[in-house]
């Protein structure tokens, strides 16, 4: 228990969803936005995008830190939705959200989340990703518009939140639910263990 108490996490994200998930680990943590550039080359595949951006976010926070924070492990994460070969990020406006939900309805898509851990004490880096398949119900345009008007699609990859009202439009998933929310906790706990921070100690 002393080991857990002596180390803590810095979450390189302002996402309320990721904050709630990481709080479930019962490890002390603080929030430090990364403000990292999220542009990626056109030729990159989904796993490369999320792993690169997760590490970019964690590294950006690492560079901002002072020595007094050296006992931290910085966690960066990035999530994208992939429909066949199309990558769906966050909608730019309601019309974009309508387009995304309309394209996803009645079909199965993949959600990729990258996770990066940077040990501020040693500079060690671990980067991984997880993929979950999600099937959305067939929807009519009234249902699509109603969901978009709820405001929930704003700032969400793929324009929906599986943990909110979006649960009503999801038919099923194959894989890690928390990956779709935005932070695969099981994967993260394994990565933290490799760095000496054991969640179940």
Catalytic positions, written as ranges: 78
CA within 13 Å, CB half, 129: 21
Tokens of 180: 């779709």
Q: Where are the alpha helices (DSSP H) in the chain?
A: 2-6, 16-23, 46-64, 94-104, 141-149, 177-181, 185-194
Phi and psi (nearest 5°) for 184? -70, 100
Phi and psi (nearest 5°) for 148? -65, -40
**β-sheet bridge partners, residue 109:** 134
| Number of CB atoms found within 10 A of residue 44's CB | 14
Alpha-carbon span 120 to 122, nearest angstrom: 6
Q: Where are the alpha helices (DSSP H) in 85-127?
A: 94-104
What is the dihedral sign for C-alpha 97, 100, 103, 105?
Answer: negative
Alpha-carbon span 72 to 13, nearest angstrom: 15
């Amino acid at each position: 228990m002393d080991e857990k108490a002596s180390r803590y996490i810095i979450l390189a994200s302002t996402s309320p969803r990721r904050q709630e998930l990481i709080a479930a680990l019962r490890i002390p943590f603080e929030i430090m936005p990364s403000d990292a550039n999220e542009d990626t080359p056109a030729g990159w595949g989904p796993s490369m995008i999320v792993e690169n951006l997760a590490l970019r976010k964690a590294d950006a926070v690492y560079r901002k830190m002072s020595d007094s924070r050296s006992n931290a492990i910085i966690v960066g994460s990035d999530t994208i939705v992939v429909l066949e070969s199309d990558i769906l990020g966050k909608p730019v406006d309601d019309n974009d959200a309508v387009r995304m939900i309309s394209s996803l309805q009645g079909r199965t898509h993949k959600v990729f989340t990258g996770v990066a851990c940077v040990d501020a004490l040693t500079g060690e880096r671990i980067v991984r990703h997880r993929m979950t398949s999600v099937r959305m119900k067939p929807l009519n345009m009234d249902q699509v518009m109603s969901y978009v008007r709820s405001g929930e699609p704003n700032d969400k990859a793929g324009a929906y939140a599986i943990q909110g009202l979006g649960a009503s439009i999801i038919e099923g998933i194959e894989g890690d639910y928390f990956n779709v929310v935005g932070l695969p906790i099981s994967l993260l706990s394994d990565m933290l263990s490799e760095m000496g921070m054991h969640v179940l100690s």
